[in-house]
Amino acid sequence: MSRIQNRFTELEKSGQKALVTYVMVGYPSHKDTLSAVRGLIEGGADIIELGFPFSDPLADGPVIQHASTISLEKGTKMAQFLNLVKQIRKESQIPLVLMTYTNILYSKGYQKFFKMAKEAGLDGLITPDMTVEESKEYLKAAKNAQLDTIFLVSPNTSKARLLQIVKQTTGFLYLVAVFGTTGVQNKIQNYTISALKETKKIAKGKVPVGIGFGISTPNDIKSYVKHGADAAIVGSALIKLIEKTPSNKIQKTVASFTRQLKSATK
Amino acid sequence: MKIKFPKDGRFGEFGGKYIPETLVPAIEELEQNYLKYKNDPDFKKELNYYLTEYAGRPTPLYYAKNLTQKIGGAKIYLKREDLLHGGAHKINNTLGQALLAKRMGKTRIIAETGAGQHGVATAMACAALGLKAEVYMGYKDTIRQKLNVFRMNLLGCKVHAVKAGSQTLKDAINEAIRDWITNVEDTYYLLGSAVGPHPYPVMVRDFQAVIGEEIKQQIKAFGKETPDTVIACVGGGSNAIGTFYPLVDSKTEIIGVEAAGQGLKSGMHSATLSAGTKGVLHGMMTYLLQDSEGQIQETHSISAGLDYPGVGPEHSYFKDQKRVKYVSATDKEVIDAFLMLTRTEGIIPALESSHAIAEAIKLAKKRPKTDAIVVTLSGRGDKDVEVVQENVKNSK
Ligand SMILES: Cc1ncc(COP(=O)(O)O)c(C=O)c1O
């Protein structure tokens, strides 16, 4: 069983849901990313998504776009991501997921890169511009390397398509809460709740369902958990917090915010 | 070698649809509607009406006698897309897609633009058909093509200046896609070149293929079954694929010209097919200008319309199949070609189109007088006179 699956099984036993948190590699600096990750672990996050910057992040809103730009300006390379994963693995067994765009993975070679990433300690992949139609080589390589493939679905995804996507998904399924890019904050929409219920129905007994995009408070998490989410994913809100916190306080501040978020999943 | 409508959206290994899941239903809806209407007699009739009565088709195939004599080789013919309403080939595509959007019941149109020609052509088609349009344009492009920003504003179209990334065409596309993800229900994304996820590359090619179809007919009047050579400039590749596609199964030599900017070795260019590697951007697998980490590189061209690090997937396919030869022209060669055509023929070409002229000038010298070289003059150069003036001044 993968670290991700394990974590969901353990949580289920203790009647909890998963808190999934996102940080951008190399933002605001490489040292700060590690501090933030330590804060996430200390605060009780269940899964960590490591965003790797891409020059053209077309599914991302302004907050993550900005973080990508800064990270790239600082010269972030894949080698640093692998080192970060290795470093985290020395300290923790928390499940780690890479979130980036297809071209980054393709340019490294799916087979070769996934194997290296797995050896470093990575557990799964989220690739927002990878559709099931185009995923044959990607899936094969991920399977070989034993990495979970976390696909995204949207409130407008048809039932037939949901079934098809669930089939290729391992770890958890990622429901995009809103029509929009990452970071869009809105009050919780009725269409999101219907989509969550529908997705849960289809994924039930196969994969847990996480929900993300625009989640920023413990209250958001509580509402989604109430309507059946197995995991809540928080990204832009954390990036914004890290952005305004001085380096030497990042770990502590992130830990304390994470604790508040985590309490909403219990 | 022709691929009419690839079911899986692929030209060989190129193309496909690499898109956020939210856009999948929209892309599927588009594909179904395009397939439904493309052979529908009423749709074809209406499109043909607008192309003829509104845009000014067919465009002439003009024998450039003075230029030919000056060079002293093969005969050069110009396919005068610059004479179309709006001043470029872009209107062929915007009329087609705007009519489709209307039939799909979409009320809001968004588009990206580089040089501003596609933005203007979108604004015109939408004004004519009673649709609302908003256009994304890189901030840098809004400065160097400000005349077109005014034109769009006059046409009642909102222009969003995009300040992210390199502030050019690729960033305008990113922002248009983000808008589409956010407003997917009522919005139609009217893409301006033969790029993006399937079915855009096929659909835009089909709407632009009228260029090549007319060339095939018109060249007969000059005693040729088909041209010996056709040449077109390649940005995203829409005027080029429209010129090439109807001739792919003939014996015609086909040449696409990319922007070599300050030279291929300088790193300051946008010659994707000449210097790129395979990758995925804007929903398609294609050749890209990228670094070894898969980050897309900044490009350079004197012409905003060619300043793009990707290229339509069908061109990548024709390159690998060796059916089309892709070459490039530097900024300097382009200015020289611009001036030469302007002075010999009294035709002011767009800087984009001047890339194709530059190649024709090089090639005609080497070819016999009996040869016919057809150059697609994709647009007129009014929008470029300021840039040209500065370049001429600086080189003195
Ligand atoms: C006159 C003209 N020609 C060519 C192009 C390049 O586009 P494409 O390669 O799609 O024909 C543009 C784009 O703005 C243009 O304005």
pLDDT in tens, A30-53: 999 999 999 999 999 999 999 999
Give the CA diameter of chain B. 57
Output the pLDDT for position B255. 99
The reply to whether the predicted model has a pTM over 0.90 is yes
Inter-residue contact B358 to B338 (CB < 8 Å): no
Round the average pLDDT of chain A to a whole number and report it: 97
Q: Rounded mean pLDDT of B259-287?
A: 97
Which residues constitute the domain of residue A9?
Answer: 3-263
Tell which residue, B137, B211, B213, B135, has the closest CA to residue B171: B137
Which residue has tokens 């090089």?
A: B362
DSSP β-bridge partners for residue B372: B75
Q: Could you say which DSSP state residue A188 is in?
A: P
User: CA separation (Å) from B338 to A32, A225, B272, B277, B376?
Assistant: 52, 64, 22, 30, 14
Output the pLDDT for position B390. 92
Q: Is the pLDDT assigned to residue A186 strictly greater than 80?
A: no
Alpha carbon A143 to its chain's center: 19
Inter-residue contact B304 to B142 (CB < 8 Å): no
Question: How far apart are alpha carbons B102 and B108 in whole angstroms?
Answer: 10
Inter-residue contact A197 to A228 (CB < 8 Å): yes
User: CA separation (Å) from A20 to A27, A121, A174, A187, A243?
Assistant: 18, 17, 11, 20, 19
ipTM over 0.95: yes
Collapsed DSSP state (helix, strand, coil) of residue B144: helix
Question: How far apart are alpha carbons B375 and B240 in whole angstroms?
Answer: 10
Round the average pLDDT of chain B to a whole number and report it: 97
Q: Could you say which DSSP state residue A27 is in?
A: S
Find out whether the beta carbon of B93 lies less than 6 Å from any atom of ligand 1.
no
Find out whether the beta carbon of B378 lies less than 6 Å from any atom of ligand 1.
yes
Question: How far apart are alpha carbons A150 and B314 in whole angstroms?
Answer: 31
Collapsed DSSP state (helix, strand, coil) of residue B224: coil
Confidence of residue B166 (pLDDT cuts 50, 70, 90): confident
Question: How far apart are alpha carbons B214 and B310 in whole angstroms?
Answer: 28
Output the pLDDT for position A26. 98
Check B164 against A161: CB less than 8 A apart.
no
- Which helix (H) or strand (E) covers residue B132, if one does? strand B132-138
Q: Is the pLDDT assigned to residue B11 strictly greater than 90?
A: yes
Amino acid at B210: V
Confidence of residue B307 (pLDDT cuts 50, 70, 90): very high
Collapsed DSSP state (helix, strand, coil) of residue A112: helix
Compute the count of residue pairs across chains A and B with CB atoms less than 8 Å apart: 106
Q: Is the pLDDT assigned to residue B351 strictly greater than 90?
A: yes
pLDDT tens for each residue of B284-305? 999 999 999 999 999 999 999 9
- Write the residue with the smallest CA distance to atom 10 of ligand 1: B238
Find out whether the beta carbon of B234 lies less than 6 Å from any atom of ligand 1.
yes
Query: Pairing state of beta strands A96-99 and A124-126?
Result: parallel
Q: Which two tokens stand for residue B49?
A: 């009406």
Check A56 against B170: CB less than 8 A apart.
yes
**DSSP letter string over B282-301?**
TTEEEEE-B-TTSPBPP---
Among A58, A77, A152, beta carbon nearest to B178: A58
- CATH assignment at residue A176: 3.20.20.70
Find out whether the beta carbon of B238 lies less than 6 Å from any atom of ligand 1.
yes
Output the pLDDT for position B396. 67
Angle at B379 between CA B377 and CA B380, to 5 degrees: 110
Question: How far apart are alpha carbons B360 and B377 in whole angstroms?
Answer: 11
Q: Is the pLDDT assigned to residue B395 strictly greater than 90?
A: no
Nearest-Å Rg of the Cα atoms of chain B is 19
User: CA separation (Å) from B164 to A56, B134, B221?
Assistant: 9, 18, 50
Output the pLDDT for position B277. 98
> Which chain B residue is nearest to residue A152, measuring alpha carbons?
B21
Alpha carbon B247 to its chain's center: 17
Check B178 against A61: CB less than 8 A apart.
yes
Testing ligand 1's pocket by substitution, the residue of B233, B316, B387 carrying the most ligand atoms inside 8 A of its CB is B233
Amino acid at B309: P
Catalytic entry in A46, A60, A123, A220: A60
Q: Rounded mean pLDDT of B212-234?
A: 98
pLDDT tens for each residue of A92-136? 999 999 999 999 999 999 999 999 999 999 999 999 999 999 999
Tell which residue, A151, A166, A234, A167, has the closest CA to residue A198: A166
Backbone angles phi, psi at B109, to 5 degrees: -110, 135
Q: Rounded mean pLDDT of B262-276?
A: 96
Number of domains forming the structure of chain A: 1
CA of residue B119 to ligand 1 center, whole Å: 11
Check A156 against B16: CB less than 8 A apart.
no
> Which chain B residue is nearest to residue A180, measuring alpha carbons?
B182
Inter-residue contact A32 to A246 (CB < 8 Å): no
Find out whether the beta carbon of B241 lies less than 6 Å from any atom of ligand 1.
no
Whats the size of chain B, residue-wise?
396
